[in-house]
Every structure is written in C-alpha cells, then in structure tokens.
Chains A and B, each alone.
Chain A
Amino acid sequence: QLQLQESGSGLVKPSQTLSLTCAVSGGSIGSGGYSWSWIRQSPGKGLEWVGHIYHSGSSYYNPSLQSRVTMSVDTSKNQFALNLTSLTAADTAVYYCARVGFAYDFWGQGILVTVSS
C-alpha cells in the first residue's frame, strides 16, 4: 500500500521560506503514469492546488503562487519537496502531499504550517 508522509518546519516567520518534504513508501516515485502534488488548506477553509511535479522534474504551479513556489523530486530518496518563499500569514495552512493519477488517490496525513513571528 502506497504511503506518503510530510515533514518539515511547522512554524515559520513572516518573509521566510517554507520547506517541506514528502517521503513516499510502498511504491516508486519514478514509476510512470503519475505525478506528485502539493495541496493546501487554510484553517477552516477549502482546498487549494499548489502544484505538481513529475519524476522527470517537469513541474506545474498555481499561477497565484508561481513567483514564490519551487518543487523538486529526488528519485534516489523516493521523495519530493516544496519550497515556498516570502511567507505571510495567508500561507498558514495544512499542507498535503498526494499522488496524481486519474485523481488524487493517495494522500499524506498533512502538516500544519503556521506563519507567525
């Protein structure tokens, strides 16, 4: 059974950079036909697509975050990562990683990131 696990900084100061990693187990991130994604959910609010990346490194980002977001993939460690710069309180959210096939079929449990001084 595929499993995804987010890790990273849970408390970040305004203007700093968020760095999260999603470790994938029970399957290879390099297997064809899938991409790997980040989705976030602000407290008490809905879901927002952040972006996704293929094992080749090709990536697609939400235009609303385009200038601040970078994703990367490390097939040797079977993980992928999210960097989000110039943080503000509006970036406070639970960040989920997920596998993308016909839909988001496997999700991590989510990690709460709070932007506060």
Chain B
Amino acid sequence: DIQMTQSPSSLSASVGDRVTITCQASQDITKYLNWYQQKPGKAPKLLIYDASKLESGLPSRFSGSGSGTKFTFTITTLQPEDIATYYCLQFDSLPLTFGGGTKVQI
C-alpha cells in the first residue's frame, strides 16, 4: 500500500495568512493526488485533483502543486470559512489511501 504522510497535523493561523500543507507519498504517484476539505459533521469536499487542477467554481486562493512523491496544498489568503480539516488522497493505485489530515484553526 502507498503511505501518505501529511504535515502538519494541525496549524493555527490568522485571517489573511498564507497556509501550506504537504503530503509525501511512499512511492511515485505521478500527478494522481487530490486535496479535500472537511468541515465538522460534513462530507469531504473536493478542492484539487491531479495535484494542481482546481475544482470548478472554487476560489483561486486554493492551489496545489507537486509531482512524484511530494505535494503541496496552499491557501494564499486564509478566510474564516476555510477553518476545516484538509486531507490528501492518492489516486494512483489501489488501495486508495488518504493522508492523516491537517486541522486548520484560527
């Protein structure tokens, strides 16, 4: 199984800050990496697919980059509504595996 190591597990930031989360895969997954946002009591919501493609209709402050084994998710200007837990998911090979999550707090 491909292990996804996500860091940090939590962070505290201020409105307007730049926030960066990383995911490292235990083997090459090329570009097949998704990022999801989950708010309490809700299902995860797709933000980024194929490492860097922004899901339609979402604000441009969300972005993703990386390839191979190292990936980064960035919120350029943190908004209050961005308070959530963020997960990466490798979509390269079965079994699909998620990172452990990053809880973003203000």
Residues of chain A having any CB pair with chain B under 8 Å = 46-49, 60, 62-64, 96, 98, 102-105, 107-110
Contact = CB atoms under 8 A, between A and B. Distances in A.
A48 B98 contact: yes
A104 B34 contact: yes
A97 B101 CA distance: 20
Contacts of A104: 34, 36, 44, 46, 89
A103 B89 contact: yes
Given A47-B98, A48-B98, A96 B43 contact: yes
Given A102-B49, A102-B50, A107 B97 contact: no
A109 B36 CA distance: 15
B34 A107 contact: no
Interface residues of B, number: 23
A63 B42 CA distance: 27
Interface string B37-76: 0000011111001100101000000000000000000000
Given A49-B95, A102-B49, A104-B89, 11 more contacts: A46-B98, A47-B98, A47-B101, A63-B95, A64-B95, A98-B43, A102-B53, A102-B91, A103-B34, A103-B91, A104-B46
Given A103-B34, A103-B89, A104-B36, A47 B44 contact: yes
Contacts of A48: 98
B96 interface: yes
B43 A109 contact: yes
Contacts of A98: 43
A104 B48 CA distance: 10
B91 A46 contact: no
Interface string B12-55: 00000000000000000000001010000011111001100101
